[in-house]
Structure 1
Amino acid sequence: MQQHKKQWRKLTGERVNTYIEEELHGVILREREMGSQLKVCIGTDSQVKGADTEFATAIVFIRKGRGGFMYLTNETTREKMSIRQRMITEVARSIEVAYSLSDVFTSHQVDMEVHVDINTDPMYKSHDALKEAIGYITGMGFVFKAKPEAFASSCCANKVVQ
């Protein structure tokens, strides 16, 4: 699976030294033992830095009424992209993660959403990619959230690409 190749870490910076699927399976079991009701949100954000574009993807766990925690991975590319192409690449990275982890979440009955850092206001350039993103995500069978409800991408992933 593709996720085996990514280097995941916790927000604290602690590296995940096992496959992310195994890590999340164990985390879900531990959280359930503590009585947590979980939901997971996956989102990607990007930042252009000179010739590089850095992407950060976040897997955010929400404990109903008890906060949350997340796992992160970063990747950098030198590929030059339009804003629309960059937004769709963010969506593709989130879907890749969601798809590869969906068996883990389904087997534990954890609801999952895919969050996109695309503005629903037509005044913003990112809005150009909204319809395509909605079709892509819902076509894959995932729940879709865009700004301002897309905190996994616009808040969590955003924090590690600035």
Structure 2
Amino acid sequence: MDNPSKFYNITHGYLTFEQAYKQILSFIQKDVKASYLLSIGTDSHVHRAETKFMTAIHLHRVGKGAWGCVRPYIASRAIRSLHEKISLETALSQEVAMLFSNERLAAIQDLIIPHLEQGADFRFEIHLDIGKRGATKDFIQEMTGRIVAMGFDAKIKPDAYAAFCYANRYTK
């Protein structure tokens, strides 16, 4: 994965954001009566001479599968400050979340709304790779505050699987 301006999906290869968004719509259209959770999350790994970040877009059809893609970002130095690393992870998630404009989120909701009585649902969350245990606990208020200030729901470990599970597998 060497194209930081594009998203990568294991089946579809490199995608622009617009192509990824169309894949999301297509995935939802296959079962508009399902419950969906669209989450954005970033994880990173410090290597000897660089820090590799992966921002995930993860669409979970609850109980019935998922679709996702990741966008790489490489910092050309090893970031040793935990606060700086977590702050950059949060910023990268915010950047991708902003690609989901009100119009794009409304288009997704328009697919689901007619089917609410049949159990359909849609939620949008930002997943942060921080938790109440360990060194990242000191950053919870600051990082979740940044997400909430944008008008989005923020999730931390253990509920932040888009960051610490899905994105994580691509950072090594």
Shorter-chain TM band: 0.7 to 0.9
User: For structure 1, which runs of at least 5 residues remain unmatched after alignment?
Assistant: none
Distance 1:26 1:50, change over 3 A: closer
User: For structure 2, which runs of at least 5 residues remain unmatched after alignment?
Assistant: 110-121
- Quick check: 1:62–1:68 contact (8 Å CA) kept in 2? yes
* 1:24 CA drift (Å): 1.1
User: What's the counterpart of residue 112 of structure 2?
Assistant: none
Tell me which of 139, 159, 171 is aligned to 1:161. 171
RMSD (CA atoms): 1.9
For the pair shown, the structure with the greater C-alpha radius of gyration is: 2
* 1:9 CA drift (Å): 1.2
Instruction: Report the more deviating stretch, 74-83 or 24-33.
Output: 24-33
What is the TM-score when the length of structure 1 is the normalising length?
0.85
Tell me which of 31, 54, 57 is aligned to 2:28. 31
User: What's the counterpart of residue 124 of structure 2?
Assistant: 112
User: What's the counterpart of residue 113 of structure 2?
Assistant: none
2:76 matches 1:64: no
* 1:64 CA drift (Å): 2.5
Distance 1:46 1:13, change over 3 A: farther
What is the TM-score when the length of structure 2 is the normalising length?
0.81
Q: Percent identity?
A: 29
- Quick check: 1:43–1:94 contact (8 Å CA) kept in 2? yes
User: What's the counterpart of residue 95 of structure 1?
Assistant: 94
Distance 1:120 1:13, change over 3 A: farther
User: What's the counterpart of residue 21 of structure 1?
Assistant: 18
SS at match of 2:71: strand
* 1:74 CA drift (Å): 0.8
Distance, in Å, in 2 between the alignment partners of 1:154 and 1:9 is 18
- Quick check: 1:84–1:128 contact (8 Å CA) kept in 2? no
* 1:13 CA drift (Å): 6.6
User: Deviation digits for residues 126-146 of structure 1, max 9, x if unmatched?
Assistant: 222211001101011100100
Tell me which of 119, 138, 142 is aligned to 2:152. 142
SS at match of 1:34: coil
